[in-house]
Amino acid sequence: MRGKSTAPIAFTVTIAAAARPAVQTAPPGTTAAPDRRRRTPRPRSVPRPRPLPKPGGAR
């Protein structure tokens, strides 16, 4: 019974491990693209999220 219960888990782990490199690895020369995209400032058309009001009605 134990072997049967662990088999699906191991199977999903191997699938995830096999799928992960394909998603993460990029062709050489494009390694800086994700970092550059992450640093781009937020466009002005998108409003900044309003901070949540503090508990107790304190400002």
Convert the pLDDT of each residue in 23-59 to its tens digit. Answer: 556 566 555 555 555 666 666 677 777 777 777 766 5
**Nearest CA-CA partner of 36 in 47, 44, 45, 26:** 26
- CA 18 to CA 15: how far, in whole Å? 5
Q: What is the pLDDT of residue 49?
A: 74
- CA 26 to CA 28: how far, in whole Å? 6
Token pair of 33, please? Answer: 């693209």
pTM of the model: 0.16
> Taking a C-beta distance cutoff of 8 angstroms, is the pair 8, 2 a contact?
no
Sign of CA dihedral 32, 34, 43, 50: negative
